[in-house]
């Protein structure tokens, strides 16, 4: 991504939209915490895999916009940071990976642990630690799904990355 061309910006827009759609519309409500578990982490991982560290921008924007449009505006800034760091890490550590590897699996697990911890700390400070604990299971399920889907995407990403060049 030495220069930001129209194709790169188009990919960024598509990845932001994919992140938003997978977050808002492919989810399971969590009645206990009034939130939901979603598949948006797959788009976050894909953003980093395809665009490298620059993938943090569409991942963060699409995820935060999903919070704003879903009525969870209080989460928009933490989501922007948490998902942006996830895509940044995936992009930085896996930008040259050519398929599924131990490194890919470890980075995905660490990123999803970061997500679970990030939301736990945010909810603990905002709503109280009992709420943070109550939401741990949902976030862990979401993180597990994100890691599994991310592992699948590690195998597809090299072909998508080539199309950007």
In order along its 165 residues, the chain shows pLDDT tens digits of 456 688 889 999 999 999 999 999 987 877 766 667 889 999 999 999 999 999 999 999 999 999 999 999 999 999 999 999 999 999 999 988 888 899 999 999 999 999 999 999 999 999 999 989 988 988 998 999 999 999 999 998 888 888 777
Distance, in Å, from the CA atom of 127 to the CA atom of 21, rounded to the nearest integer, reads 27
Give the Å distances, CA to CA, from 54 to 29, 45, 70, 96, 112: 31, 12, 25, 14, 19
- On whether the CB atoms of residues 5 and 51 are closer than 8 A, the answer is no
């Amino acid at each position: 991504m030495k220069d930001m061309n129209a194709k790169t910006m188009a990919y960024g827009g598509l990845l932001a939209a994919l992140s938003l759609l997978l977050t808002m519309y492919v989810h399971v409500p969590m009645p206990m915490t009034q939130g939901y578990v979603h598949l948006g982490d797959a788009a976050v991982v894909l953003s980093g895999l395809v665009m490298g560290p620059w993938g943090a921008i569409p991942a963060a924007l699409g995820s935060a916009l999903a919070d704003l449009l879903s009525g969870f505006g209080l989460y928009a800034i933490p989501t922007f940071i948490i998902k942006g760091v996830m895509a940044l890490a995936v992009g930085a550590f896996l930008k040259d990976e050519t398929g599924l590897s131990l490194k890919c699996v470890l980075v995905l697990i660490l990123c999803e642990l970061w997500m679970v911890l990030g939301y736990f700390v945010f909810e603990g400070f905002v709503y109280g630690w009992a709420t943070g604990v109550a939401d741990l299971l949902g976030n862990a399920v979401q993180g597990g799904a994100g890691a599994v889907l991310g592992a699948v995407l590690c195998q597809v990403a090299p072909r998508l990355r080539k199309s950007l060049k």
